Amino acid sequence: MIRIKTDKEIEIMAEGGRVLARIMRELEKNVKPGIRTIELENLAENLILKSGGKCAFKGYTSEYSQIPYPACLCTSINEEIVHCIPSERVLKEGDVLKLDLGLFWKGYYLDMAVTVPVGKVSFEAQRLIRVTKKALKLAIKKVKPGNTFGDIGNTIQRYVESQGFNVVRELCGHGIGRELHEEPKILNYGKRKTGEKIKEGMVFCIEPMVTAGHWHLKRTKDGFGYQTVDGSLTAHFEHTVAVTKYGSRILTK
């Protein structure tokens, strides 16, 4: 069942979303060649605790892994797309880094992700990042009462594939609120006018995950993350979005 949020609940989530967005901007500023991803993890945790919130991901178990996630931040590099654990790995010029971060704020969860170029990256990487970010923007425009979740997935898929890239099928967006992952599952592909209708008061995460090569994934060595089977580059953007009677409201900005 998809949980409908009250105006008060959405305002609390919007407050937390602003906090999360500020923390993410600070993390982005610190991404540079030579930094270790564990340093970004430490910064993320410190900023979250300082804000008065809690790490949403640390200790979390999901349908994808029953082992508690050991960090606040997910740092996925190049062919890695999501859920990779920060480590002593050093970022180098030309890497493509995905930052995925969740916040627990006054009883509610917020979730967002960005893709950050490390120094100067290839033209292909720049285009992949730009296309994925635009796919999210186009999808959010479809968030309005009366449209369907199939409209969102179809919009992402059609745009991404028109640019010569592919969307991941094995992972998806999700509802969010009192739980980090709620109904519905929001696919990055699909057909128009299919699936459940979008209604005022719904809150969910839209997160295009895009590959430069084939969309098939496999587990990473750390057991938590996912990467492309063919080693192709990936990008990922995510916002938590509320549905109003007028359309979408991005909570994580």
Return the CATH number at 87. Answer: 3.90.230.10
Q: What was the pLDDT predicted at 22? A: 98
Please say whether the beta carbons of 75 and 98 come within 8 A. Answer: yes
Q: How many domains does the chain have?
A: 1
Please enumerate in sequence order all residues whose Cβ is within 8 A of that of 50, keeping only pairs 6 or more positions apart, or say none: none
User: Considering Cα of 71, then 48, then 250, then 178, what sign does the dihedral take?
Assistant: positive
- Contact status, residue 72 vs residue 101, Cβ threshold 8 Å: yes
pLDDT of residue 174: 98
How confident is the chain (253 residues) per 10-residue block, as mean pLDDT?
97 98 98 98 98 96 82 98 97 98 98 98 98 98 98 98 98 98 97 96 98 97 94 98 96 97
pLDDT of residue 144: 97
Tell me the residue length of the chain. Answer: 253
Domain range for 135 = 7-250
Q: Return the closest-CA partner of residue 110 out of 2, 26, 15.
A: 15
Q: What is the pLDDT of residue 152?
A: 98
Question: Which residues have a Cβ under 8 Å from the Cβ of 208 and sit 6 or more positions away?
Answer: 132, 135, 136, 139, 156, 160, 167, 188, 236, 237, 238
Whether residue 2 lies inside any domain: the answer is no
Residue 143 located in a structural domain: yes
Residue 1 lies in a domain: no
pLDDT at 61 (0 to 100): 87
Which helix (H) or strand (E) segment holds residue 204: the answer is: strand 203-206
Q: Torsion angle of alpha carbons 114, 119, 122, 126, nearest 10°? A: 30
Q: Which residues, including other chains, have CB under 8 Å from residue 222's CB and lie 6 or more apart?
A: 84, 85, 87
- pLDDT computed for residue 66 by the predictor: 77
Residue 137 falls inside a structural domain: yes
Tokens of 177: 């609120």
